[in-house]
């Protein structure tokens, strides 16, 4: 695919070098179009060497090729990373005072902005108005990550991890047709991921094999389709998905608290996390020692049933709630019983164990609907499975 990587003048421009490498190694032909001020951070020679393509900042170079028109016309995707407050303001106003701004006016392909700036600049009313304008025009403007900024400051405004920006670009391109699919724009969605841990003592816990890959794929894909996404993640070491607000938890009770607090404002809730059914009745304050005697049994008590509680507490009209069922044995019979018992709108069913589902890059599933529908999802990468699940959710939301 032909990708234009727009680079504006922010300190995060150095991260765009890694993003460029990832894009080219994935087989894409990338043309870097920096703003003139961006070259104060990373020089044109670096961009040219890494991309193998000429680098220009003004429409007055190679005028015979009409670059301010041709570059945008020929692109399959324009990705601006980092996107400063300045470039988004100029794009929203329709200005064309440098080559990148002109490319943004001529592009008829999907356009993604990955903002990076100080928190105060991101939260300013002018920036938020420009973001709203760009989104209303069909652009995908990701939420910035939170963390360390320049100097001692921290907060929302970091450029997301380059590998996650690549993943968003790949999800947008995978939708095909050269049109940005933002069918979830304006929707708030809540996703859980990972596996909860229930502490026995300061060293040991009850847990499961969930890696969080499918839940993270669901969050990433929803963001790539324009949604405002909150991810409640249990014990996953995966990088935060680009454009996603991440809340980290450990135990089932922590996840219960966060999910029930966030659910009332969500249009769709997907419980993809593997939640421990039981926890120790009492956590030991010191490590349990091996004494040679018969060990004391660990008394277990039930954890809250988060999915059922979400359904019971549902108040938002039209809210879609999706559960997951990791099953063994008679998979479909177990899943139908679980769907009836939980009362959710959709239940994603997959067989687990012996190398299936947990920790794998791909998955296969069936999606059962409370309306009696059943959709088979053949084995595919988990991002593709996520797209298929969101297709079913989006159809019900609309």
Quick one: average pLDDT of 120-135? 97
Distances (CA, A) of 123 to 79, 85, 110, 128: 22, 10, 25, 7
> How is the chain split into domains, by residue range?
2-174, 188-397
Q: CA–CA separation, 371 vs 338, rounded Å?
A: 14
pLDDT for 373-389, tens place per residue?
Answer: 999 999 999 999 999 99
One fold for 2-174 and 188-397: yes
Q: Which of 39, 149, 327 is nearest to 16 (CA)?
A: 39
pLDDT band at 321 (very low <50, low <70, confident <90, very high): very high
CATH topology assigned to domain 2-174: Rossmann fold (3.40.50)
Cβ proximity of 323 and 346 under 8 Å: yes
pLDDT over 80 (residue 1): yes
Class of domain 188-397 as given by CATH: alpha beta
What is the pLDDT averaged over residues 219-235? 96
Residues 60/97, Cβ–Cβ less than 8 Å: no
Largest CA distance in the chain: 87
Q: How many CA atoms lie within 13 A of 299 on its CB side?
A: 4
Confidence of residue 151 (pLDDT cuts 50, 70, 90): confident
The pTM of this model reads 0.90
- Rounded distance, CA 25 to CA 182, Å? 27
Selected catalytic residue, list 208, 235, 350, 363: 208
User: Is 208 labeled as catalytic in the residue annotation?
Assistant: yes
- Encode pLDDT of 23-63 as tens digits: 999 999 999 999 999 999 999 999 999 999 999 887 766 65
CB 59 within 8 A of CB 68: yes
Number of C-beta neighbours around residue 362 at 10 A: 16
Average pLDDT on 130-156 reads 90
């Amino acid at each position: 695919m032909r990708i234009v990587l727009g680079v504006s003048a922010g300190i995060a421009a150095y991260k765009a070098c890694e993003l460029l490498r990832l894009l080219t190694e994935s087989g894409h032909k990338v043309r870097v179009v920096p703003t003139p001020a961006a070259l104060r951070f990373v020089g044109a020679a670096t961009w040219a060497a890494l991309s193998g393509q000429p680098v220009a900042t003004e429409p007055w170079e190679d005028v015979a090729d009409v670059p301010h028109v041709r570059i945008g016309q020929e692109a399959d995707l324009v990705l601006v990373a980092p996107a400063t407050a300045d470039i988004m303001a100029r794009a929203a106003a329709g200005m064309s005072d440098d080559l990148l701004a002109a490319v943004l006016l001529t592009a008829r392909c999907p356009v993604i902005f990955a903002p990076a700036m100080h928190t105060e600049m991101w939260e300013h009313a002018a920036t938020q108005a420009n973001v709203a304008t760009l989104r209303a025009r069909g652009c995908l403007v990701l939420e910035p990550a939170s963390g360390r900024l320049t100097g001692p400051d921290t907060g929302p405004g970091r450029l997301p991890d380059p590998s996650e920006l690549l993943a968003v670009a790949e999800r947008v391109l995978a939708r095909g047709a050269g049109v940005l699919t933002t069918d979830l724009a304006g929707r708030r969605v809540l996703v859980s991921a990972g596996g909860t841990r229930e502490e026995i003592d300061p060293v040991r816990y009850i847990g499961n094999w969930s890696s969080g890959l499918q839940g993270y794929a669901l969050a990433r894909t929803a963001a790539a389709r324009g949604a405002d996404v909150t991810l409640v993640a249990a014990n996953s070491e995966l990088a935060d998905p680009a454009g996603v607000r991440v809340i980290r938890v450990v135990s089932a009770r922590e996840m219960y608290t966060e999910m029930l607090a966030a659910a009332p404002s969500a249009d769709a809730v997907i419980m993809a996390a593997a939640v421990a059914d039981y926890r120790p009745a009492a956590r030991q304050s010191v490590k349990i020692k091996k004494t040679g005697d018969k060990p004391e049994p660990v008394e277990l008590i039930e954890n809250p049933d988060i999915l059922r509680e979400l359904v019971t507490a549902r108040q938002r009209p039209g809210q879609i709630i999706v559960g997951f069922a990791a099953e063994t044995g008679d998979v479909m019979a177990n899943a139908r019983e679980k769907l009836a018992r939980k009362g959710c709108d959709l239940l994603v069913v997959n067989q687990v164990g012996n190398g299936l589902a947990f920790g794998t890059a791909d998955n296969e599933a069936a999606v059962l609907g409370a309306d009696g529908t059943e959709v088979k999802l053949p084995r595919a990468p988990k991002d593709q499975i996520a797209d298929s699940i969101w297709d079913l959710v989006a159809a019900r939301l609309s």
